Amino acid sequence: MPKIKTFIRGEIPSELMQAWFQHLRDFDTAHPGCHFEVMMDMPDTPLAELAQQLRIDPQLTFEAIFDRGPP
């Protein structure tokens, strides 16, 4: 099946970021072969808050990110 690249740019309230990431993780887990790369532009946000918003289940470790390789 051919792969399609999609580009999404959105503005999401900070209190909904974790839910958005969880939604992506759930989709990714349910559909093997999908690969997401997410970027955030939050220059005034403390690193601890960013890390909290990236908490998803099942967890995706840094090692797992690198093991996935390029799409």
Residue type, 35: H
Sorted by where each begins, the domain ranges of the chain are 14-68
- Mean pLDDT is lowest, of 17-21, 40-44, 61-65, for 61-65
Q: What pTM does this model have?
A: 0.66
Q: What is the pLDDT of residues 39-62, one digit of tens each?
A: 878 788 888 887 777 777 777 666
Q: What would the two tokens of residue 53 be? A: 């918003």
Could you tell me if 24 and 36 are in contact, meaning their C-beta atoms sit under 8 angstroms apart?
yes
Residue 70 pLDDT: 56
Q: What is the pLDDT of residues 26-38, one digit of tens each?
A: 898 898 888 888 8
